[in-house]
Amino acid sequence: MNEIIKYQEIDKKLRQLEGELNSSLNRKNAAEMQQYLKDGQAKLIRLEESAKNLTEQYQKALKLYNEFVAKLEILSKNVESVETGKIDELEAIIQNYNKMSENLDNNINILGGRIASITKEYENIISNAKKARHNLEIYKSNFNKEKEKLEPEILKLKEEKSKQKAKVDPKLLAKYNAKFESKIFPVFVPETRGGCGGCRMEIPAGKMSQLKANGMVECENCGRIIYVKE
């Protein structure tokens, strides 16, 4: 029993240090910056595609607008030479072209505004991405310092854990691993004043008899393995 308890103590210290690294604020911030850059890259691709489509629409609308303007100029020059009976018909055509030109002009302005908005958003993402990269390097550097500080102790504990593992009864180790996988820790706890050393629940008389006879028993409340402390 002493060997598994020592193994558990080493494992606890090791997991505490690893947990300290995993919960590092610098590590968390670095991960957030990396995700931000990844999301920003995806957004830039979408913006580039949108800008391309809008630019094509803008160029088509501008070309069509210029064609209408050119036709209007030709029609306006021909008004005087048109027969009297067809002047109204020609003016109606000119008026129709004017309306279409105005609609195209409005569409061109709208498309131009959208392109300008996308361009501004694109520039903002690029600017923020530069800041995010700068911050990412700072967080990574700070985390690496934390890691360098704790890593020697972590490596030392891993070696101790490996050596201690060889001394532990395989059956007890199997129980330990099974309980740990079920999110139970510490796995082995001492009997304390007739109660479980983990959850403090009183040990029933029947279980207490098993504990005294076998040296260990499973707590009915928390599932930990209660042992008799020497």
Q: Where are the domains of the chain?
A: 2-167, 171-227
pLDDT at 90: 57
**pLDDT tens for each residue of 89-126:** 556 666 766 677 677 778 888 888 888 998 999 999 99
DSSP letter for 168, please. S
Do 202 and 194 touch, CB atoms closer than 8 A? yes
**β pairing state of 188-192 and 195-196:** antiparallel
DSSP letter for 203, please. P
**pLDDT tens for each residue of 19-76:** 999 999 999 999 999 999 999 999 999 999 988 888 888 888 788 777 767 776 776 6
Do 172 and 18 touch, CB atoms closer than 8 A? no
Contacts 24+ apart (CB under 8 A), 44-53: 44/122, 44/125, 44/126, 47/118, 47/121, 47/122, 47/125, 48/122, 50/118, 51/115, 51/118, 51/119, 51/122
Top-tier CATH class for 2-167 = mainly alpha
pTM for the structure as a whole: 0.69
**pLDDT tens for each residue of 145-164:** 999 999 999 999 999 999 99
